Amino acid sequence: MTAVESTTARSLTYVEAIKEAITQSMREDPSIFLAGEDVALYGGVFGTSRGLLAEFGPERVVDTPISESGLVGMGVGAAATGLRPIIEIMFMDFIGVCMDEIVNQAAKMKYMFGGSARLPLTIRTMAGGGMNMAAQHSQSLEAWLCHVPGLKVVMPSGAYEAKGLLVAAIRDDNPVIVIEQKLMLGRPAEVPEELYEIELGKAHVVKPGSNFTIVALGRMVSESLKAAEVLSADGLDVEVIDPRTLQPLDTATIVDSLKKTHRAVVVHEAVRFGGLGAEIAAQMQEEGFDYLDAPVGRVGAPFAPVPFSPALEREYIPNADKIVAEVRRILGKQV
């Protein structure tokens, strides 16, 4: 069932939506299993797999040793031989331990076998700061993964997206990285009860607008909506776009927005330098240069590790105030 066909909605938190996507998918397809550190007995460090062990048993909900390299390697092998694994990497920071398996095995296998290999592998991981977990448990590293041909990368901005994108990732016959965000876990939204999927590679216009475009990744969508409300007092009708899928990127929807707004900012929580915002801005200027009345702005984190100090971390992470400031800076250049 697609998102368009879904009819019955009720409120679920982001974490509940993730768990429901996994549960319903596992009920539908016996080839699906979940594996990761503390996903079974403990129910996941963030609670995304609570109750799954009791329903599906230890053969389909598997606690693994603390070895991300072995975990992803097992997932690659299982996917290549007919199963449909969901592999959980507890924190996104830990993908550094298994980059060979992700970049040189999962991403390359279909290409190196002339398209004959299927690799229906879903890798879920938790990114972002805001919980005072310090520099090794708070990073947003999506730009690393989007740079690798053979991988699809999605970043849900809310509970509705968390369920629909995860279901689509699980059903896809290619490796898909699902980047969840810690500060979203308790945030509710309307989520259909049915098993639905959101099309990969298609952006969503969250808020239509007429004279400024904000392209926001993941949790920054909600911050951008707050910014749009503030900017309305300046007479701005801001359009907010959620790419949903970061790789492949739906550039066409973004350029269509530029055709009417003529100015834009890209916002992400990751470090600004070399972040995905730079690629999105480059594509906007390559594909939509004739529509732009100003350079595309970017809002991201400073070029520094994520601080442990709550006060410093609050200053470090982009927010609505910083988005508003960047929009006004761009407009100020046009006066």
> Which entry of 16, 20, 137, 204 is annotated as an active-site residue?
137
How far is 48 from 122, CA to CA, in rounded Å?
Answer: 15
Active site residue 262: no
Angle at 281 between CA 185 and CA 276, to 5 degrees: 40
> Which entry of 68, 88, 161, 197 is annotated as an active-site residue?
68
How far is 158 from 181, CA to CA, in rounded Å?
Answer: 9
Active site residue 28: no
Residues known to be catalytic: 68, 137
